[in-house]
Structure 1
Amino acid sequence: MGTLIKISSQEDIFPEYRGTPIELLLGYHNLNWEYSQYTEAQMLIGMCMDHRKHLRIPENFAYIIRSGGANLRYTEFKVSYAIAVGGVRYIVVIAHNNCGMVNLMSKQKAFIQGLTESAGWKKEWAEEHFRYFAPMFEIGNEIDFVLSESKRLKLRYPKIEVAPMYYRLDDNKLYLIKED
């Protein structure tokens, strides 16, 4: 588990992130820094597809991959592309509270009903679809998942700085996560 660190001033940003695009992200989003102009992405941001989150960042500042639960396992080629071709050296993985990918099994009935009624699927197709994919996308606890996903990416890309963050829907702010 990790401890959430509120970023209310530049001094709250961890020393290892100062002078990096990670500091800029926190400055733009939480501290309302004036935007600089960018012609190339400075970082990759992996975050949940949830519609309730919006980052305050300048145009062209970051590649953004949005995937349920900020799970980048199944978009790894895109991560590799951003690094190899896009030249990014910083990745931020952002989880958020009240994520729909937590406790997916409790949503099975609604998922199946939604696909049959809204998408016109046969019930059997929807059931099989859920059984096959839910285990891949279940993230458990948001903070634990974002910490483990960040560690996984650090091992996969050892020269890349990877920072886990948390987005609180209550205040629309980013928090750093200090590992306990």
Structure 2
Amino acid sequence: MSKLVKVSKENEIFSQYKDTPIESLFQYHNLGKPFKKYDKAELLIGMCMDNRKQLNIPNNFSYIIRSGGGNLRYSEFKVSYAVAIGGVKTLALIGHNNCGMVNLMSKKERFIKGLVENAGWDEKKAEEHFTSFAPMFEIENEMDFLLSEVKRLRLKYPKILIAPLFYNIEDNLLYLVEED
């Protein structure tokens, strides 16, 4: 089983991430390292759109793609752009606890009601919208999805360093994921 590793000191960062933008990400976010000036992005971060997560990183350090559950399946062109045009060679895919995309089907009625009340949709259209898209975005559990998405991306981008990371919304820290 995969394990989360808290990073509260520099020597806790896994050796495969030393001298990479992943190490810098931990230094900035968890360890409070003073920001360096960046002229271009060194990293691509894929993470959930959840409003409870905010990274502490310098301007221009990273491209960031935010999507439900950190699902990059429908953002591959953006990933390719960051790699091909932006020149990034490192991707941090960040999952988090208490993700709203887990058990999405249980939120169907609330979703429909919210679109009707907040967006002015008719109920039938809101239900069709949910039924069409929820299966594409629902994740069974945060860790399994994170690791499967990392595996998929590593196959697609074999020369890119791809690190699975985890954001704990209780302490607002990033954790390393010890892969099996």
Provide the TM-score with structure 1 as the length reference. Answer: 0.99
The Cα of 1:14 is off from its aligned counterpart by 0.5
Query: SS at 1:57's partner residue?
Result: coil
Does 2:155 align with 1:155?
A: yes
Q: How does 1:4-83 map to 2 (within 5 A)?
A: 4-83=4-83
SS of the residue 2:40 aligns to: coil
Gaps of 5+ in 1: none
For 1:150, give the aligned amino acid.
V
Matched, 1:117 2:117: yes
Match of 1:104 in 2: 104
Q: By how many angstroms is 1:7 displaced? A: 0.4
How big is each residue's C-alpha offset from its partner over 1:157-178, in whole Å with a ceiling of 9 and x where there is no partner?
0000000010001100000101
Structure 1 residue matching 2:30: 3-state secondary structure: helix
Cα deviation for residue 21 of structure 1 reads 0.3
Q: Secondary structure at the match of 1:59?
A: coil
After TM superposition, give the deviation of residue 96 of structure 1 in Å. Answer: 0.7
The letter of the residue matching 1:177 is V
- Per-residue CA deviation, residues 91-145 of structure 1 (Å, 9 max, x unaligned), is 0000111100000011000000000111111111111111110000001110111
Equivalent position of 1:167 in the other structure: 167
Residue 89 (structure 2) pairs with residue 86 (structure 1): no
Query: Using the alignment, how far apart are the partners of 1:12 and 1:108 within structure 2?
Result: 41
The residue identity in structure 1 corresponding to 2:118 is S
TM-score normalised to structure 2 length: 0.99
Q: Secondary structure at the match of 1:171?
A: coil
Residues 27-73 of structure 1: CA deviation (Å, up to 9, x unaligned)? 10001111111000001000000111000000100000000000000
Task: Give the whole-Å Cα distance in 1 for the aligned partners of 2:139 and 2:160.
Answer: 23
What's the secondary structure of 1:31's corresponding residue?
Answer: coil
Q: Secondary structure at the match of 1:166?
A: strand
Q: Which residue of 2 aligns with 1:126?
A: 126
**Alpha-carbon offset, residue 152 of structure 1:** 0.7
Which residue identity is paired with 1:154? Answer: R
Secondary structure class of the residue paired with 2:29 = helix
Q: Secondary structure at the match of 1:50?
A: coil
Question: In structure 1, the residue corresponding to 2:75 is in which secondary structure?
Answer: helix
Give distance in 2, aligned partners of 1:29 and 1:175: 11
Aligned equivalents of 1:47, 1:28: Cα separation in 2? 17
Amino acid at match of 2:48: C
Kindly report the root-mean-square deviation, in angstroms, between the aligned alpha carbons of the 2 structures. 0.7
Report deviation, 1:179: 1.7
